[in-house]
Structure formats: C-alpha cells, structure tokens
Structure 1
Amino acid sequence: MTDRLAVVVPVFNEPDVARALEALRRQRDGAGLSVYVVDNGSTDDTVQRVERFAADHPDLAVRILSEPQKGTGAACDTGFRAAIADGSTVVARTDGDSEPAEDWATRIRATFSRDATVQLLGGTSLPLRDRYYRWSDDLLMSGALRLLRILMAVAHLDAAYLRFVAGHNMAVRASAYVATGGFERTSIDRRDEDIDFSVRVSHRLGYAAVRIDPQLKVATSMRRVRRYGMGMMGVHHLVPALRGKLIRTIDVR
C-alpha cells in the first residue's frame, strides 16, 4: 500500500513562502501530496500570500492552520497531528524559507515503502540561493552540520546525536510520531525540538530507526547564520541554557 504523504510547513512572517510552496508543487511524485501550512502568529500578510498561492494553484492541496502558541515545536506538532488525524501515514516537514529538491517526495516515499525499519528520515542541507547566500556557504553548511553532530554527540555522550534530523528536511511515520510523543511544544529560544525529537526516536525505537539519506536534499536560507555568525550558532545548539542570556535574540522566524 502506498503511504499517504503530508508535508507540514510552519511559518511566521515568511516573505518567500510562495517559493517553498512552489517547490512542493513541483515534486515529481506529488500525486496525493497534502500540505499543511501552520501560521505561528504572523503579523504580516503571510497567510494572505499562502491563500493566494493556493487559489492560483488548485493542483496542490494546501490547508492553512493557526497555532497561537509561539514556537516551531508547537506549530509543527499542531500540523503533524492534523495530518495524522486526516489519515496521513508519513508526515514530512520543511520550512517556509526552504526549498526541497524535486525528487524529495519520491525519495521519502521510496525509503518508507522499502524499509520497515526506518521510522525517521533526514537528509542533506544545502544553502538556499536567496539574498542571504554567499559563495562560501556550500562548503560552510556541509562541514558545519557534520561537526555539530559530532560535537553534540561528544557533549551528551550519546551517539544518537550523530543522526539528528534537521527540521527543514525530515519525514516520520505517523505511528512513530504518536508512539514517541511528537515534538515538544517549545520555542526555539528554549530548545531545538527537531534535535530532541530525533534523539527520542533513536532512544525509544532503536538507533537504526533513524536514517540520514545524503541524496534527500533541501536548500534552506542562511539568514540565521548571517544574523548570529557561525560561532554563536554553535553555542546556541551546544549550550541551550545560554539562550535568553548570552544569546538574547534567537528567534528570527
């Protein structure tokens, strides 16, 4: 039986959200794809732009949800649970400032259909060529993510961090999401709900339940790196207790 695939996109004041939606519309295996855009209290016209996109492209099933509680954890949990309630068996996630490759949905479906062991799937992050892009970002992003996984595994003495899955490029079986409790409904100035979720899946369902497919590619904006710098981004992930103290303005959604 073919998995019913949904994609959750949390948004907050996303000027380029149409770009993310267009990337989902252009998926080679987009038949039956459902998209849940979760507005997390936008103060601009993000919702109206999503509505216009949906009206102009009826071939992509877009549902708009609202989550007033601040945080990507809260917004994504609302979207995932709505998709699961609607019958989706696999739920993916990307961000409003990200652009999945055209074979993204194909690779997600193929992996979950082929291997019943896999419960959570991640991939490769690429720099999005938007106004925040710099020529060195291609080398910077690939090396930084590998290094961060190693540093977090050492800091926590836990190999599960070697396979943490970034929120802009992930997919999970609905059954695994429910069984592990899903995303913590936290905001990014407190915790990284995607990393915490990855580790929890590995602990509860086994290390092999989490897979990183290097060919599962999503380009994502470097806007947060541009604002805080690579060093401060490392501190942000490695020492979350400093958020709101040394790091005073984390949430740039």
Structure 2
Amino acid sequence: MNERLAVVIPVFNEPEITRTLAALHRQHESGALTVYVVDNGSTDDTLHRVERFAADHPNLAIRVLHEQQKGTGAASDTGFRAAIAAGHQLVARTDGDSEPAPDWSSRIRSVFASDDGVHLVGGRSVPLRDRYYRRRDDLLMPGALVLLRIMMTVKHIDPTYMRFVAGHNMAVRASAYLAVGGIGRTAIDQRDEDIDFSVAISHYFGAGAVRLDPRIRVATSMRRVRRYGVGLMGIHHLLPVVRGRLIRSVDVR
C-alpha cells in the first residue's frame, strides 16, 4: 500500500474543473496524492480556476502541465509520463467533467496491493448530477456501457473489449504503462485512446491483467450523450472513420 499514486486530468475548456479537484481533495488519502492537470490548449479561464483552487488547497499537490498537440490521448500521455518520471508507481486518470467517489484512490491502491497480476484497474461509471443529468440516466449509462462492450467485442471478434476501462475511471502500474508504449497520442475525433489502451494491456499481459471493480466509482457528465444522442454515441465508438465527417465530434480534445 506504500506505492505512490498520481492522478492525471487532461483538460480543455472545463468550466467545472474545480468540482473534479474538490472530489480529489475529499479523497480519504488526499494528502498522499499528486494531481497532474494537463491543459490541452484551453481558451477560457480553466487554468485560472485550477491555479486558484491549488492556492486555496495547499494540502493537495497540484501540478499544471501544458500539451500543445491536440488530443485527450496526447494530453493524458504527457501527464502519465510526467508522473512516472517523478517516481509514481501507480498512475490514475479521471476527466475534468467527472467526480471520483471519496474512497476512489484508496480502493485503487487496495486492488493493486491485493494482486500483483493486475496491471490496469477500472470501475463503475455513474451519471454526474450536473445540468445534463436526466432521471433515466441511472439506467441508461450502465446499460449503454454493457451494450457498447458487447458490440465492440463482436465487431473486433476479441473478448478483451468486454473489459475495456473508461478513461475517466482508470489506473495503471507505471511499469505496465511503459511496457505497452503508453496511451496513444490521439484526439477524440480519431480514436478512443482509453479503449485502445485497455486492449493493449490485455493483449500484452493477458486478460487477467485488467480488473473492473464496481466499488471503484466515478460520476461523469452525460454532456456528450446529450449532444450526440445514444444512437450517434454508438456509431461514434464503433465507426471512428465517420468522426468529423458524418458526425461532428464534441471537442473535448
């Protein structure tokens, strides 16, 4: 349980970023965390909000990085590699529109500590109670994730897609991250870098290397679902080639 844990947050124009930072500040072991906020070219006051929060909460170590290459993948990779270079053996990721549960980081540590064969950890996604929330989302989100996993497994004829880990609720051993070459430095209008990374870990280390623990819980915004609709969200994931063509991607980098 003594391995150092860092949290990476790729951001682009995230007006509610302080909610994510506040959730990390509420972690049971927040004093043992280092948070890497990786700005991906924000044009609003995102960085100002992060800096103000960091000044008001000095007991939570927050580092701000900059990545000019567009892409949640590029920004995430920059953050992961910075955290690993700083000596963190475990690196987690969440997003700037997400809110990890207070026991999120401690449960991540517990899973890694209990099994040396686990290299990538994910958990349960629930809808965030923000302005995009609708009552039916409590059923819609888990159902849609199960359906997406099944459809991607069928499409690729590869059962490892049934265990893909979502980027807003992810943690990996530093050694495993480097072994597979890290998260692809791609943009959301090209690839789903989190899914690709999950599959890479499974292929390299075996299916048992990926653990999905429902007790590791993150609430995430339904804003993209509201923008696309459920149908287009499915097409967005299953047919990346149509992004930016038939489907205009929501620019979260």
Common fold by TM > 0.5 = yes
The one-letter code matched in structure 2 to 1:98 is S
- Which residue pairs with 2:69 in the alignment? 69
Contact 1:104 1:217 in 2 (8 A): yes
Amino acid at match of 1:32: A
Q: Distance in 1 between matches of 2:249 and 2:102?
A: 34
Residue by residue, what CA displacement relative to the aligned partner does 1:179-226 show, whole Å, maximum 9, x if unpaired?
000111000000000000000000011110001001110000000000
In the superposition, the TM-score normalised over structure 2's length comes to 0.98
Instruction: Tell me the distance in 1 between the aligned counterparts of 2:208 and 2:43.
Output: 41
Letter in 2 for 1:10: P
Residue of structure 1 in register with 2:110 after alignment: 110
Q: State the secondary structure of the residue aligned to 2:233.
A: helix
Structure 1 equivalent of residue 155 of structure 2: 155
- In the other structure, the counterpart of 1:235 is 235
The answer on whether the counterparts of 2:28 and 2:103 sit within 8 Å (CA) in structure 1 is yes
CA contact (8 A) 1:16 1:96 kept: yes
| Aligned residue in 2 for 1:177 | 177
Give the aligned length: 253
Partner of 1:217: 217
User: Per-residue CA shift, 1:47-71, capped at 9, x if unaligned?
Assistant: 0110000000001000000001100
Aligned to 2:121: 121
TM-score (ref. length: structure 1):
0.98
Question: What do the CA deviations read for 1:214-252 (whole angstroms, capped 9, x no partner)?
Answer: 111000000000000000000000111111221123424
> 3-state DSSP class of the match of 1:31?
helix
Paired with 1:101 and 1:88, the residues of 2 have a C-alpha distance of: 21
SS of the residue aligned with 2:30? Answer: coil
Q: Which amino acid is 2:236 matched to?
A: H
**Would you say 1:30 and 2:30 are equivalent positions?**
yes
Unmatched runs of 5 consecutive residues or more in structure 1: none
Computed over aligned residues only, the root mean square deviation of the Cα atoms, in angstroms, reads 0.8
Q: Matched residue of 1:198: which SS?
A: helix
Are the equivalent residues in 2 in contact too, given 1:224–1:252 (CA < 8 A)?
Answer: no
CA distance in 1 between partners of 2:31 and 2:109 (Å): 11
Q: Residue 123 of structure 1: SS of its match in structure 2?
A: strand
- What's the counterpart of residue 98 of structure 1? 98
Instruction: Check the 8 A contact 2:12/2:252 in 1, yes or no.
Output: no
- Distance across 2 between alignment mates of 1:149 and 1:29: 32
Unaligned residue ranges in structure 2 (runs of 5+) = none
Aligned: 1:204 with 2:201? no
The amino acid across from 1:161 in the alignment is Y
Q: CA deviation at 1:30?
A: 2.2
CA distance in 2, matches of 1:249, 1:79: 23
**CA deviation string 1:14-67 (max 9, x = no partner):** 000000000000001223200000000000010011000000000100000000
Q: Is the 8 A contact 1:37 1:65 kept in 2?
A: yes
Rounded to whole Å, the distance in 2 between the matches of 1:38 and 1:204 is 27
Between the aligned partners of 1:215 and 1:32, the Cα distance in structure 2 is 20
Deviation by residue 1:73-119 (Cα, 9 ceiling, x = unmatched): 00000000000000000000000000000000110010111110100
Moved over 6 A (4+): none
Q: 2:156 is aligned with what amino acid?
A: H
The residue type equivalent to 1:143 in the other structure is G
Match of 1:9 in 2: 9
